Amino acid sequence: MNIEQCFQLGYVAKVHGLQGEVQLKLDVDDPSPYEELEHLFLEMNGRLVPYFLEHLVLQPGDRALTKFEDVEDVEMASAWWAKESISPCLCSHH
């Protein structure tokens, strides 16, 4: 899969809470079709890398709370995102 086959769903806005969750800022008119996503692609150095979700819960204001698999606490989430990209592109192959 390449980036031309995707669209930008949003970006990681910040780490949320102590359990490794992150808050996504969604850039779509209607986020409800994405509640059941099992994975997202993050753009890393021009390549799309799939990351699997434990959950994605829509929040008010075009935001979603999500937890990626294998990210268990705030330290992991902070280090993980800082290592990859400040604002990775989230793409859904829909």
Q: How many CA atoms lie within 13 A of 78 on its CB side?
A: 7
Counted domains in the chain: 1
List the Cα angle 32/41/15 in 5-degree steps.
75
The residue among 75, 93, 90, 92 whose CA lies nearest residue 42 is 90
Question: Residue 19's domain spans which residues?
Answer: 3-91
Could you give the CA distance from residue 34 to residue 14 in angstroms, rounded to a whole number?
19
What pLDDT does 56 receive?
A: 92
Please state the pTM of the whole predicted model.
Answer: 0.75
pLDDT at 2 over 70: no
Q: Which whole-number Å values give the CA distances from 17 to 40, 44, 52, in the listed order?
A: 21, 25, 19
Three-state DSSP at 21 gives strand
Q: Tell me the pLDDT tens digit for each residue of 42-91.
A: 777 777 778 889 999 999 988 999 999 998 888 888 765 643 333 345 55
Could you give the CA distance from residue 69 to residue 11 in angstroms, rounded to a whole number?
17
Residue 36 belongs to a domain with what CATH number? 2.40.30.60
Please identify which residue in the block is written with the tokens 């990859």: 84
Q: Provide the residue count of the chain.
A: 94
What pLDDT does 63 receive?
A: 92
pLDDT at 35 over 60: yes
